[in-house]
Chain A
Amino acid sequence: MSFEHVQSRWLFAAVSLGLAVAMLMLGPGIALLATEVAIMALFASSLGFLINYGGMVSFGHAAYFGLGAYGFALAAAKLGLPLWLAVVLGPLTAALGAVLFGALCVRLTHIYFAMLTLACSEIVFTVLFQAYDYTGGDNGLTNFMAPRFGLSPQIYAALTVAIVALCIAFLARIVRSPLGLAIQAVGEEPHRAAALGFSPRLVQLVACVIAGTLAGIAGTMYSVFQGNAFPDYAGVGITIDALVMVVIGGVKGFYGGVFGAIIYVLLKTFVSRAFTHWELVIGLILIAVVLIFPTGIAGLLQKLGLSRTARPSGEQHP
């Protein structure tokens, strides 16, 4: 464990703590926006982990976001469980979903993997949409709790930033662990990894469950944040949002999801305020990103020497 590594860990903790404290001093509107950015940063990071390290492009990541949201909302609204228990049940539901779907999906690779993940998330979406006796269908689950447990926007923002920072630190820890190296090895060269004694499918399943659980945490936090749950939380739209964030942020950097979420949510908020065509702007940015700097913002920063935390590739491993 190099000095640089320890230093970046302290830096990360300091920045996170600073951000969380800063949340308390913001105006309520900005705090709400920051909360959304933080939640999406976690969601995009979990998908980025799957894509960048596991080599698995998922079209169905929203399934876990939706399961996290509905696991919490159903437990709170329909089962009447105490909120602290419901908050735990959300990510747990997503984790269970990830075990089930992951076990199926890791049997496939490339576009077939993507298609099966899409089918899984559409199953979740359709079930949430159709089982209206339990889920309220299109109308969603609403009015079962005060948004943010009734906390002020600033306090909830600080809480969210802290939780997201912990989750991302956990993800960074995973990436640097032997497990993380195994996930990367399987992502890059499944045959060679198998020859080294890894079970590619098992390693991929573990990666799926980690990513799914983190996405579930994001979903639960979003449901608490809004005080509701809608089937759209498991829809293709959310998956596309996350994919766009990962690509804008950068497909080679660990913090790609974070950068991408910041840019995407801010663009969505401010461009749509100034003029209505924010999707057009995002689309043009995407084309520019892919054609001009395919490694995204994180890669650009790395190229400029501003970030040392980009993904350790084979040659420059820490």
Chain B
Amino acid sequence: MAAQLLNGLTEGMMLFLIASGLTLIFGITRIVNFAHGSLYMLGAFLAYHLMPMLGGSTVASFASAVLLSAILVGLLGLVFEVLILRRIYGADDLLQLIITLALVLILRDVVKAIWGANDISVPMPASLSGALQIGGTFLPLFQIVAFAVGLVVITLMVSIMRFTRAGVLLRAATDDRGMVALLGINQAWIFSSVFAVGCFLAGLAGALAAPFGNVNYLLDTNIIVMAFVVVVIGGLGSLSGALIAALSVGMVKGLGVIYFPRLSTVLIFLIMAAVLVIRSLGRGAISK
């Protein structure tokens, strides 16, 4: 039970890491980044690739591989934003969606070309592969560490959003982009950096979560769908909403495996549908 609980919490935390980037990007740029799952997948593959180069399965090499993968994915996001995405802000919803879909297809093919179509597995750092005994139950150490890393990222994010000038600008831009532009803030710079940070978070989540399961090129759509669910339940653009939603979804998945194995996934989508429909009841007859 405690183990399943931790399972759910860890999965929820990983979901939050990816969903936070998605919701951050949407909040500022109004772009729904369909490629976010692909960036997560890329992060996982990069970690797999970098770990042996950085000295095998020690904690230090894993940590540096995770960080480096996240940075590389963030840089890729930056390049994509500056070269392509920047040209279509304000264009039709569909075109923005399609541009990110194009990135999904390209990344999937690139990953297949470099690492092949088979499952790969990223080893846990050897010293973290044990279990921690608390009371009578053994809890996998690596999950606890991954969860803790998530907490650190949340703390960092909250402090940046609350206490720095960049955070103030971001919150302002989420509320009213036009007004921020009127204040003489360079919007292009905000958009690029937010997109890069969002991609960094996706890469971080992918690399960090890679040892939990098999990594393959099909990860992209599986993950993006769950990330959408989290972002929608939490409210598009809301970080705290995404955190609550991610942990809840993780718990439903983690506990659902014991109590209603066949229904857990359907239940998550039903919750998402219910949240959307209930929210729509509060609005007028047609809201644009």
Among B32, B94, B285, point to the contact of A251 (Cβ < 8 A).
Answer: B94
Say yes or no: is B182 at the interface (Cβ < 8 Å to chain A). Answer: no
Residues of A within 8 A of B239 (CB): none
Chain A, interface SS category: helix
Say yes or no: is A179 at the interface (Cβ < 8 Å to chain B). Answer: no
Among B103, B113, B236, B286, point to the contact of A200 (Cβ < 8 A).
Answer: B286
Residues of A within 8 A of B110 (CB): 280
Is the Cβ of B286 less than 8 Å from the Cβ of A109? yes
Is the Cβ of B280 less than 8 Å from the Cβ of A286? no
Say yes or no: is B101 at the interface (Cβ < 8 Å to chain A). Answer: yes
B229 (CB) vs chain A CBs: closest residue: A119
Is the Cβ of B288 less than 8 Å from the Cβ of A191? yes
Is the Cβ of A119 less than 8 Å from the Cβ of B265? no
Is the Cβ of A286 less than 8 Å from the Cβ of B99? yes
Is the Cβ of B262 less than 8 Å from the Cβ of A130? yes
Stretch with Cβ within 8 A of B (4 or more), from A90-98, A152-160, A240-248: A240-248
Say yes or no: is A277 at the interface (Cβ < 8 Å to chain B). Answer: yes
- Alpha-carbon gap, A103 to B279, bound state (A): 15
Residues of B within 8 A of A291 (CB): 84, 87-88
- Alpha-carbon gap, A286 to B287, bound state (A): 31
Say yes or no: is B131 at the interface (Cβ < 8 Å to chain A). Answer: no
- Alpha-carbon gap, A109 to B221, bound state (A): 23
- Alpha-carbon gap, A236 to B266, bound state (A): 15
Say yes or no: is A112 at the interface (Cβ < 8 Å to chain B). Answer: yes
For A105-125 the 0/1 string (1 means CB < 8 A from B) is 001111110111011101100
Among A109, A123, A277, point to the contact of B266 (Cβ < 8 A).
Answer: A123
- Alpha-carbon gap, A236 to B221, bound state (A): 7
- Alpha-carbon gap, A122 to B266, bound state (A): 8
For B45-70 the 0/1 string (1 means CB < 8 A from A) is 00000000000000000000000000
Specify which of B105, B270, B287 lies most central, judged by the most chain A CB atoms within 10 Å of its CB: B105
- Alpha-carbon gap, A197 to B147, bound state (A): 55
Q: Interface residue tally of chain B, by bracket? A: 35 or more
For B243-284 the 0/1 string (1 means CB < 8 A from A) is 000000000000000000011011001101100110111000
Given contacts A118-B225, A190-B286, contact A279 B84 (CB under 8 A): no
Residues of A within 8 A of B113 (CB): 276-277, 280
- Alpha-carbon gap, A294 to B94, bound state (A): 10
Say yes or no: is A265 at the interface (Cβ < 8 Å to chain B). Answer: no
Given contacts A110-B93, A126-B269, A276-B113, contact A116 B106 (CB under 8 A): no
Is the Cβ of B280 less than 8 Å from the Cβ of A112? yes
Is the Cβ of A287 less than 8 Å from the Cβ of B102? yes
Is the Cβ of B280 less than 8 Å from the Cβ of A108? yes
Is the Cβ of B228 less than 8 Å from the Cβ of A115? yes
Residues of A within 8 A of B270 (CB): 123
- Alpha-carbon gap, A110 to B88, bound state (A): 17
Is the Cβ of B265 less than 8 Å from the Cβ of A287? no
Is the Cβ of B225 less than 8 Å from the Cβ of A247? no
Given contacts A111-B236, A236-B221, A291-B87, contact A190 B109 (CB under 8 A): no
Say yes or no: is A283 at the interface (Cβ < 8 Å to chain B). Answer: yes
Is the Cβ of B269 less than 8 Å from the Cβ of A290? no
Say yes or no: is B14 at the interface (Cβ < 8 Å to chain A). Answer: no
Say yes or no: is A150 at the interface (Cβ < 8 Å to chain B). Answer: no
Residues of B within 8 A of A290 (CB): 88, 91, 95, 98-99, 102
- Alpha-carbon gap, A243 to B281, bound state (A): 29
Say yes or no: is B194 at the interface (Cβ < 8 Å to chain A). Answer: no
- Alpha-carbon gap, A288 to B118, bound state (A): 30
B105 (CB) vs chain A CBs: closest residue: A283
Say yes or no: is A127 at the interface (Cβ < 8 Å to chain B). Answer: yes
Smallest beta-carbon distance B114→chain A, Å: 11
Given contacts A127-B266, A191-B286, A294-B95, contact A279 B273 (CB under 8 A): no
Smallest beta-carbon distance A174→chain B, Å: 21
A57 (CB) vs chain B CBs: closest residue: B94
Say yes or no: is A11 at the interface (Cβ < 8 Å to chain B). Answer: no
Say yes or no: is B18 at the interface (Cβ < 8 Å to chain A). Answer: no
Residues of A within 8 A of B91 (CB): 290, 294
Residues of A within 8 A of B173 (CB): none
A52 (CB) vs chain B CBs: closest residue: B94
Among A236, A279, A284, A287, point to the contact of B108 (Cβ < 8 A).
Answer: A279
Given contacts A57-B93, A283-B109, A286-B105, contact A244 B221 (CB under 8 A): no
Given A109-B286, A201-B285, 14 further pairs, Cβ under 8 A: A104-B277, A112-B279, A116-B273, A116-B276, A119-B273, A126-B265, A194-B286, A201-B286, A244-B101, A247-B95, A280-B105, A283-B103, A284-B106, A290-B95
28 contacts between A and B (CB under 8 A): A110-B93, A112-B236, A112-B280, A115-B232, A116-B272, A118-B228, A119-B269, A119-B276, A123-B266, A123-B269, A123-B270, A131-B262, A194-B285, A201-B286, A236-B225, A244-B98, A244-B101, A247-B95, A247-B98, A277-B113, A279-B112, A283-B103, A283-B104, A284-B102, A284-B106, A286-B98, A287-B84, A294-B91
